[in-house]
Homo-oligomer: A and B are copies of this chain.
Amino acid sequence: MRKIPKPTIRRLAIYYRCLERLEQQGEENISSKLLAQMVHIKDSQVRKDLSYFGSFGRRGIGYNIQKLLSEIRKILGIHKSWRVVIIGAGNIGQAIARFKHMEKHNFQVIGVFDTDKRKIGKQITNNLVVSDINSLESFIVHNQAEIAVIATPAEAAQSVAERLEKAGIRGIICFAPITLDCNIPVEYVDITVFFKTLVHSVVSQTHNV
């Protein structure tokens, strides 16, 4: 199989949320053209992205929404539920832990950890309490957590990542503003980077136009 462009994967996740909406609206089929319009890209891009994985549409008709949802679930690996632990019970960590969309999208937050004695024991949701980070490894092994969220300060992130990897975690979402050294997949989400790139668009727009 050909190599899949990274942007294609991200777009699949975006198509997915459009399809969910369309399904909810009771639509049955969608053309690449309409789907492309919904996300402001070219229709050829939509077709190419999907064609990396198979032929899911019918010429003259478009794509069956239910079927495409199911195919994308399999491609992305979200047809099963994933167990998530969160390290760091600050603003970001707590927000993710309480975030309704997580569970809805099959990401089950099963543990939240922190070093701060004042946070340990704090009730985050009905069935989530902040645990001591000392119990991190045993918890991961015992509950077979697969994904971890690093929401610690930058200073702590690298050593946490190493502990996570060693304990068997298979992928990391890193909110800490640092690039990690590790051998499992990492997605970086530095909130302030989005603000900074946005501001650049804002200022360069004014210059040019």
Q: Residues of A with Cβ closer than 8 Å to B?
A: 9-10, 12-14, 16-17, 21, 38-40, 75-78, 82, 84, 91-92, 94-96, 98-102, 105, 107, 146-147, 154, 170-173, 177-179, 184-187, 189-205
Give 12 A-B contacts (CB < 8 Å), ordered by A residue: A9-B197, A14-B190, A76-B199, A82-B195, A91-B98, A95-B95, A99-B191, A101-B192, A105-B196, A171-B201, A172-B198, A189-B189
Distance to closest chain B CB from A119 (angstroms): 14
Distance to closest chain B CB from A94 (angstroms): 7
Contact A16 to B196, CB < 8 A, known contacts A146-B202, A202-B185: yes
Contact A192 to B102, CB < 8 A, known contacts A95-B91, A202-B171: yes
**Chain B: CB-nearest residue to A21:** B154
Contact: B147 with A198, CB < 8 Å? yes
CA distance in complex: A178, B101 (Å): 14
| Copies of this chain per assembly | 2
CA distance in complex: A172, B201 (Å): 11
Distance to closest chain B CB from A35 (angstroms): 11
Q: CB < 8 Å: which of B102, B177, B192, B200 contacts A77? A: B200
Contact A191 to B40, CB < 8 A, known contacts A177-B17, A197-B10, A205-B185: no
Distance to closest chain B CB from A88 (angstroms): 12
Distance to closest chain B CB from A108 (angstroms): 11
Q: CB < 8 Å: which of B91, B184, B199 contacts A147? A: B199
Distance to closest chain B CB from A192 (angstroms): 5
Distance to closest chain B CB from A138 (angstroms): 22
Contact: A195 with B147, CB < 8 Å? yes
Q: List chain B residues, Cβ under 8 A from A171.
A: 198-199, 201-202
Distance to closest chain B CB from A171 (angstroms): 4
CA distance in complex: A9, B95 (Å): 28
Q: CB < 8 Å: which of B82, B99, B194, B201 contacts A92? A: B99
